[in-house]
A and B are shown apart, each in its own frame.
Chain A
Amino acid sequence: MAEIQDINALADRIPDGAHLALPPEYSFVPMQLVRCLIRRQARELRILCVPLGGLAVDMLIGAGCVAEIEAAAVSLGENGLAPRFTDAVLSHRVSMKDSTCPALHTALQAAEKGVPFMPLGGIIGSDIAANRPDWRIVDDPMGQGNGRILLIPAIRPDFAILHSPLADRNGNVWIGRRRELVTMAHAAKQTLVTVESFTDTDLLADEKTAAGTLPALYVTALAEAVGGARPLALTGCYERDDGAIAAYAQVARTDAGFADYLARTVGAHAPEAAE
């Protein structure tokens, strides 16, 4: 049975060194939970972007929480490069495993099926594959004349985290058409969810809502977090705060500007300032 608790208790479930899957910027990002992780000075996290990273990843990197990132790309979308990510990768302060979107989806699909790897078309000849010793290129084992094919190992993250508009008291979580959240939850060992609100109505009781629901079966614990995706968008609830993200893109270019941003918006100290 999924447990409903305080958001800080939810964040405390994620230990240092955890392998953490994060949704892409346009899709249910648990920003408030990320801010809790920064406040409690989480360290050595391994972040799996499904498949793209943005503001959440950039803040976690800047706050010194991250050892490794795997992503198809990390940026602030219309607001340009992710400044803390760019700086940390160029100076080798975090390890970046470059991937490509369908490889990340495929790795999680393999995990949700409980198989050790899955094949994926394309990609052969890309330097992405050349720099991934964990990937394998084999001759088509079925002999159907398709030539060589890439095998992607399953990824089973310790945690998937997400923020949704709504969950019911049983821990069933509304995800609408963002099915990558279901794949993430199936693949992860545990899924932690924050929500705008809880409803007394069972989301699985009506076929219309059941089709867009992540069942509590896959959910470990939940917490309420009003405005929990801000300043990013949450479908049907609020828009992306472009001004706030543009301002972040500007100030986070420098260590001092980022430290000041963290102090103001998270109430946390950047790693340098804390020591």
Chain B
Amino acid sequence: MTCKPEEFQISVLAGLLNQPHINHVAVGAASPIPGAAALLAQQLGGGRLDVTIIHGNANNAFTDGGRELFDCAGQGRIDAFFLGGVQIDGQANINLVGTGTYPDLERRFPGSFGSAYMYFTVPHVILFRPEHSRRVFVEKVDFISAPGISPPDVHRPGGPKSLMTELCLMAFDGARGRFRLVSVHPGHSLEEILDNTGFSFDIPDSVPETQAPSEAVLVQLRSVIAPEIAKTYPGFASRVFAITPEIREFEENVR
């Protein structure tokens, strides 16, 4: 069964969430693929994983307003979270603000959202940035929305653990402040990753291929997860899974 890049990414991210110490994953703004991954991991784990998708009321049990996500993370009740970046550097610093010399930017992006806090408080942060290019993966970010590592005199229970792109999966070692290549996605090569990465990273002697989703997982994704993520991200769902507003309305009426 062939799968789209988005479906591949969703299934790999879901696999990263399938760990015994991850009991609650939260998904922030503008994150349809991480949102679908969290729901898929919940489904594949038989409902063991708690999922909170902020923005909207679907899959969101919070009742204390916008601050509850951050309060919940500060209390240590969120085990995993996703962040991205316009730029990400080799020390896992992320930039969500813009390129150029702040505040005289050349390109402006929306802003840092809650990254500067979630990166410190959530133990298992997964960096997700599909575009794997030297434009994104730079030696040093132009603006640090949130730093990858902190000095010992800053309280920091959380931080980056993984980086997922359209080419590969990497792990981050907080003690050394370096990424390590974990696996290369099918159809791509180490050379391609080196050509498109602006920072140095560790390369083990043997690098496996990232496991593609099984047919059973794809069926679950398309039949169960697609209509669920459409409640939060209708545009994404209709583009990737062809969930149209008409289908959504029909399903809601059937329920």
Residues of A within 8 A of B (CB): 24, 26-27, 50-52, 71-75, 77-79, 81-82, 86, 89-90, 92, 96, 98-103, 105-106, 109, 120-129, 131, 146-149, 177-183, 235, 242
Q: What would be 10 A-B contacts, judged by CB atoms less than 8 Å apart? A: A72-B114, A77-B55, A105-B66, A105-B67, A122-B117, A125-B154, A126-B147, A147-B154, A177-B57, A181-B65
Top 5 closest A-B pairs, CB basis?
A: A179-B65, A73-B111, A122-B120, A180-B65, A101-B114
Looking at chain A's contact residues, is the secondary structure mostly helix, strand, loop, or mixed? mixed
- Please determine whether A78 and B233 come into contact, CB atoms closer than 8 angstroms: yes
- Please determine whether B111 and A178 come into contact, CB atoms closer than 8 angstroms: no
Binding stretch for chain A, among B97-105, B130-138, B187-195 = B97-105
On chain A, the residues within 8 Å of B143 by CB distance are 127
On chain B, the residues within 8 Å of A103 by CB distance are 116-117
At the interface, yes or no: B110 with Cβ under 8 Å from chain A?
yes
Beyond A125-B147, A127-B102, 18 extra complex contacts between A and B, CB < 8 Å: A73-B110, A73-B112, A74-B110, A74-B111, A75-B111, A86-B108, A90-B108, A100-B115, A102-B117, A105-B66, A105-B70, A122-B156, A126-B145, A177-B62, A179-B66, A180-B66, A183-B67, A235-B57
Minimum CB–CB distance from B189 to chain A (whole Å) comes to 32
- Please determine whether B103 and A242 come into contact, CB atoms closer than 8 angstroms: no
Contact of A81 with B154 at beta-carbon distance under 8 Å, contacts A105-B70, A121-B117, A177-B62 already known = no
On chain A, the residues within 8 Å of B155 by CB distance are 121, 146-147, 149
Contact of A100 with B117 at beta-carbon distance under 8 Å, contacts A51-B66, A73-B29, A146-B155 already known = yes
Residue of B nearest to A126 (CB): B116
Minimum CB–CB distance from A77 to chain B (whole Å) comes to 6
**Looking at A79, A89, A100, A101, which has the most chain B CB atoms within 10 Å of its CB?**
A101
Minimum CB–CB distance from A181 to chain B (whole Å) comes to 7
Bound Cα distance A90, B235 (Å): 28
Minimum CB–CB distance from A129 to chain B (whole Å) comes to 8
- Please determine whether B153 and A148 come into contact, CB atoms closer than 8 angstroms: yes
At the interface, yes or no: B96 with Cβ under 8 Å from chain A?
yes
Residue of B nearest to A89 (CB): B108
At the interface, yes or no: B211 with Cβ under 8 Å from chain A?
no
- Please determine whether B105 and A90 come into contact, CB atoms closer than 8 angstroms: yes
Bound Cα distance A149, B117 (Å): 12
- Return the contact of B111 from the options A71, A147, A179 (Cβ within 8 A): A71
At the interface, yes or no: B56 with Cβ under 8 Å from chain A?
yes
